[in-house]
Every structure is written in C-alpha cells, then in structure tokens.
Amino acid sequence: MNNVFEIDNGILIKYHGEDDEVIVPDGVIKIGSEAFENNENLRSIDLSESVVSIGRFAFFGCKSLVSVNLPNSLKTIEEKAFRDCTNLFDITLPNGITNIESDMLDFCDNLEEITIYGEVFTLEDIIDEYNWSEIAEDYDIDEDEICNLTIAVHNTLVEDLLKLLINGDFDKLYMPEDLRYEIIANVLKHKPANINFLKMAKEHITELTPHLTENPEVIQYINENI
C-alpha cells in the first residue's frame, strides 16, 4: 500500500491511491501542496502524529470528505487547504495549532461546527450576533436576506473564528467586539497553550476580566505563560 504515497524527505507529495479511507503513514511531517487535490474518492483522512503542517490546496475540492482527524502535532495549515470540501460537516482543530492561513475552509458550504481547544462553535448559534450591514455592503448582499447562511456569510464567520482564536488577530474582523471578548473568555477556560492567542488575550485583559469573574485562575494562567 505504501507505493500509493509519494513521499520525499518527509513530505507527502501526492497520494495516488483510490481508497475512500486513508491513514497517512508515520514519518510524514508535511502534507504537501495539492497532495489530495480534487480526490473524489476520499471520505476519511487520518493524519499521523508526525505531521506538523498541511500545505496549500492539500485537500482542495475533496467533495466527498466527511471525516478529518488532525494530530496534536499539527502546527500550521496553509491557505485554502480544505477549500471546497463541500460535505465536511465538522472539524476539530488540535490544541497545539498556532497558525491558520487565509481561506483554509472557504466554500465548505455544509460546515456547521468547529471545535477549537475543546470549545465547540456552531455557526448558526453566532450568526445573529453580527452587525450584518457592513458585510452586506462589502459582499453586495441584500441586508434583508443577510441572516440566511449564505456562502459569503458562512466564510466570514469561519475566517473570523480562525483568525481570532488561532492566529490571535483581534482587529480587522467583522465580529463585534463584545462577541470577541465573550468567545475569547470561553476559550480561555480551557487554558490553551497557543502563545499567539494568549498574547492577544493579555493585551485585552482589562476588557476580558468581567467575563472571567467565575474563573479568576485563568488570569493567573495567562500571566504565568506570557
């Protein structure tokens, strides 16, 4: 079976098999760019604990993909890695991840849940928290129709969550500030190790403190790790 994996210096260059369930072999440190691109058979991917990064367009257009098992070793997912995986319903990102590049989950139209640091985010639950007038103008969408989970809105929600919670970006988000603080506080209760996220949280500790009155140990945790 190993002959279906084209591997060079720890990089999985290309998967040449036709299995619908694939387990990436131990020793692979990176899923290369376009390694599984447009694989119509792939339904399940299980990455070994040696994988630290996923390249750009690695799973682009894998429209049958429904199950993704990402290892705790994973640190970086490059741009558009899972773009257009239209049957992906949910994804769990490992606690050790520190960098997500743009449009990683663009056009994953059926994605409903993202788990980050053990906190489950259901997109439908947070859609009404946004001020959609700015998004409607930017995307040329009728504001009266904006609360339908259109593709543009869907992508905006996903991108905001990943930028905030993985990359530690607080600004240049559509997400309202009060919602950002609430989400950050909820995630801090899990005591994530992502240094980018913790630095961002410390910069906004004054605004976060009212959200952490029942979890004062979180503030101590931030101070001890930054």
**3-state secondary structure (DSSP) of residue 102:** coil
Say which range, 35-39, 56-60, 63-67, 153-157, has the weakest mean pLDDT. Answer: 153-157
pLDDT digits (tens, 9 = 90+) for 80-118: 999 999 999 999 999 989 999 999 999 998 999 999 999
For residue 147, give every residue at least 6 positions away whose Cβ sits within 8 Å of its Cβ, in sequence order, or none.
127, 128, 132
Confidence category of residue 155, pLDDT binned at 50, 70, 90: confident
Report the domain count for the chain.
2
Per-residue pLDDT, averaged over 44-65, amounts to 97
Is the model's pLDDT at 139 over the cut of 80?
A: no
Return mean pLDDT, the chain.
92
**Hey, what are 13's tokens?**
């260059």
Is the model's pLDDT at 154 over the cut of 70?
A: yes
Q: What H or E segment, with its residue span, contains residue 68? A: strand 67-69
**What pLDDT does residue 145 have?**
67
Q: Is residue 217 part of a domain?
A: yes
Q: Is residue 135 part of a domain?
A: yes
Confidence category of residue 208, pLDDT binned at 50, 70, 90: very high
Q: How far apart are CA 201 and CA 210, in angstroms?
A: 13
Co-location of 90 and 54 in the same domain: yes
**What pLDDT does residue 2 have?**
58
Distance from first CA to last CA of the chain, Å, rounded?
A: 46
Q: Which domain holds residue 44?
A: 1-111
Q: Is residue 26 part of a domain?
A: yes
Q: Between 127 and 146, where is the model more confident?
A: 127
Degrees, nearest 5: CA angle 56-135-205: 80
Co-location of 164 and 96 in the same domain: no
| Model pTM score | 0.90
Neighbours of 96 (CB within 10 A): 15
Confidence category of residue 152, pLDDT binned at 50, 70, 90: confident
Per-residue pLDDT, averaged over 29-47, amounts to 98
Co-location of 88 and 173 in the same domain: no
Co-location of 1 and 85 in the same domain: yes
Co-location of 128 and 107 in the same domain: no
Q: Answer with the one of 44, 77, 111 that is the final residue of a domain.
A: 111
- Which of 56, 53, 54, 1 is CA-nearest to residue 23? 1
Co-location of 2 and 63 in the same domain: yes
Confidence category of residue 130, pLDDT binned at 50, 70, 90: confident
pLDDT digits (tens, 9 = 90+) for 163-193: 999 999 999 899 999 999 999 999 999 999 9
